[in-house]
């Protein structure tokens, strides 16, 4: 690895930066917990409403909320893995270029990234990708909340 490649990979990266980023990723856990609560609530309401009536608007909305919760759970699991990986990188900062190469090789071996995408990504690129996952998880929670509010409002007005 050339000196410029090493510099590109580690530009402005220090342990404090990585630990701060890991702390930011910790926000994913309470988002996940709240989303799980909404997911289970929606599933319960969907099951109860399907017992009382045939498929109703309430059942459909709650099923959609449940499915969105599953998507949110997928993002939460991905973020949990990324947080663990960034924690590891923060503790192995002095060997960062080698560690990143080993990480990419491991991810390819586990089929978590494509073998063709082996170009060396900078740590900043990786952080941006992880932030996109966090934003998507948050969007799933907001959509769940909005659908739940709409479900309750329509439920109130329909009965």
What would the pLDDT profile of 18-65 be if each residue is shown by its tens digit? 999 999 999 999 999 999 999 999 999 888 887 877 667 888 889 999
* Own/partner pairs, 88-94, CB within 8 angstroms, 24+ separation: 89/18, 89/123, 90/15, 90/18, 90/19, 90/22, 93/13, 93/14, 93/15, 93/18
What pLDDT does residue 159 have? 55
In a domain, 49, yes or no: yes
Containing domain of residue 18, as a range? 14-153
In a domain, 137, yes or no: yes
In a domain, 4, yes or no: no
In a domain, 95, yes or no: yes
Q: How many domains are contained in the chain?
A: 1
In a domain, 159, yes or no: no
In a domain, 36, yes or no: yes
């Amino acid at each position: 690895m050339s000196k410029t490649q090493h510099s590109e990979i580690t530009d402005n990266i220090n342990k404090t930066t990585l630990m701060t980023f890991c702390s930011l990723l910790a926000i994913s856990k309470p988002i996940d917990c709240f989303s799980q609560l909404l997911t289970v609530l929606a599933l319960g309401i969907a099951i109860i409403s399907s017992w009382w009536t045939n498929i109703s608007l309430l059942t459909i909305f709650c099923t959609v909320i449940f499915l969105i919760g599953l998507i949110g759970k997928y993002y939460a699991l991905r973020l949990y893995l990324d947080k663990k990986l960034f924690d590891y990188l923060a503790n192995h900062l002095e060997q960062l270029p080698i560690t990143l190469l080993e990480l990419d090789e491991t991810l390819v071996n586990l089929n978590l990234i494509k073998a063709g995408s082996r170009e060396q990504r900078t740590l900043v690129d990786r952080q941006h990708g992880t932030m996109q996952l966090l934003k998507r998880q948050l969007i799933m929670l907001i959509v769940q909340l909005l659908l739940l509010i709409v479900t309750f409002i329509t439920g109130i007005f329909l009965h």
